[in-house]
Amino acid sequence: MGLGTVAVTGAAGNIGSVVREALRAETSRLVLLDRVPLSPRAANETVHTVDLRDAQAVESALAGVDAVLHLGGVPDEAPLADLLEANVLGTHHVLEAARRCGIGRVVLAGSNRVAGFYPAGHRTSPLEPVRPDGLYGVSKAAVEALGQLYADKFGLSVICLRIGSFEETPAEPRHLATWLSPRDTVGFVRAALTAPPSAGFTAVYAVSANTRRFWELPAPTELAYEPVDNAEEYAAGIAGAELPIDPSAPQAGPYALPEVTLKHLRP
């Protein structure tokens, strides 16, 4: 099934680069946005150097696309002002452009860290209240809220992927629960872009089929993709993998520590 014209924000990033290579042959046109200048690699690629804080530039770049995969933003803990500008305001501009341009599907890059304070012994559902592990998690909770608002108020079709630990291979004990492989990343993205059109908002965890995972996988009625990779296959090569996880410890691991956020607060 062809994907039509798909736009990808944050196309120069780690996930954006993988998705770009995977989806190029499946789209009639691939529109790539990033603050970093990009060069087209195929006849069906169009590139735009865009700051997502510029609403007019975002709308101009997204005009005429069928779906948007919104990956752009600050990807980790940072001062709240920076996160609000890049993640929240940038997402608002993407959603508003989608509304104004009549774009049929918006896929948002959410994060598992909107709920990082749930304990490791709890299998978390995206239907449960958010429990951010830091300011970054707060910004991604706001991203989800904006997606819900634009679905409810303006009838947009919005799917938010709560992305796990995107790595080529798992490298630490926490990844045995949280890893999202490149192959499964593409699978989740493709499923979100091609899900049957319907007005509404859906949030799902995008995580590989890890034996130790913390999060519920989406039901087929929510998103028709079943992950295929399992971090357990790499456990023998990860130091500390044999140690049991404290079921009462936060799923976020070190991201939940106060010092992770304190260094971004005013002294």
Q: Are 213 and 165 in contact (CB under 8 A)?
A: no
Report the candidate in 245, 214, 65, 68 with the shortest Cα–Cα distance to residue 128: 214
SS3 readout for 110-163: EEHHHHCCCECCCCECCCCCCCCCCHHHHHHHHHHHHHHHHHHHHCCEEEEEEE
Dihedral of alpha carbons 204, 206, 207, 209, sign = positive
Residue 90 Cα to chain centre, angstroms:
14
Active site residue 136: yes
CA 173 vs CA 81, 236, 241: distances in Å: 32, 11, 5
Kindly name the residue from 136, 150, 205, 225 that is annotated as catalytic. 136
Residues 6+ apart with CB under 8 A from 221: none
> Which positions are catalytic?
136
